[in-house]
Amino acid sequence: MHFLITAGGTREYIDSVRFISNASSGRMGYALALAAIKAGHKVTLVSASGLQPPIGVDFVGVDSAAEMFAAVKKFFAKCDCLIMAAAVADYTPIKKPKTKIKSSKKSLVIKLKPTVDIIKWAGKHKKNQIVVGFALEEKDLRKSAERKLREKKLDMIIANTPAVINSEETFVQIKMPNQKWLKLPQANKNTIAKKIIALGEKLGKKTISKRANNKQ
């Protein structure tokens, strides 16, 4: 299988040196990429993280949500499974000065606009691909994740809380359409990643089988 995996927190620049970002380290996405490589799959890693990419992946470095969207669009048709592990910014500045904003004692107002919803685009445009998303929620975790699973036409949603950010370990709950929630015990991210890739493999085999039957 060909896994297309995104990782890291995007940077949305407000001038030439300052940006809006988040606390995502990218570790989960990199653990997924490593697990997929070790399982014998082809991996394209689209990353906004500064971590060292696992050996064997096709690496695409990006900064902004727009750059990540462009990369996902480029490789999406060629992949079997997209896993959106990146923490993509929901908003980006409307205007981005080419030079550094001068310091001042006056208040500064920065107007923001929504970024493209990459995973929603993928869910809408998928043909034979599996699309997997993450839901990071503080309240109503399962309810919010199920809504995202349904509204964005995903094949799997992985839900967790902000407590896992920058942590070596994580605990996740996984939901697929018409199936019960799967709650994994707390473990390091490499262990969790192996289980997620294994689930992606199972979904991928079903899709590949359907694709072969349709060609007959």
Give me the residue spans of the domains in the chain.
Answer: 2-91+111-215
pLDDT at position 159 is 94
pLDDT at position 204 is 86
pLDDT at position 212 is 54
CB half-sphere exposure, 171, CA atoms < 13 A: 6
Fold of the 2-91+111-215 domain: Rossmann fold (3.40.50)
Q: What is the 3-state secondary structure (H, E, C) of the chain?
A: CEEEEEECECCEECCCCCEECCCCCCHHHHHHHHHHHHCCCEEEEEECCCCCCCCCCEEEECCCHHHHHHHHHHHHCCCCEEEECCECCCEEECCCCCCCCCCCCCCCCCCEEECCCHHHHHHHHCCCCEEEEEEECCCCHHHHHHHHHHHCCCCEEEEECHHHCCCCEECCEEECCCCCCEECCCEEHHHHHHHHHHHHHHHHHHHHHHHHHHHC
Q: Is 159 within 8 Å of 145 (Cβ atoms)?
A: yes
pLDDT at position 78 is 93
**22 is an active site residue:** yes
Q: Note the pLDDT tens digit of each residue in 147-176.
A: 999 999 999 999 998 777 777 778 899 999
In the chain, which residues have pLDDT < 50?
none
pLDDT at position 211 is 53
pLDDT at position 215 is 53
Among residues 22, 178, 188, 190, the one annotated as catalytic is 22
pLDDT at position 184 is 92
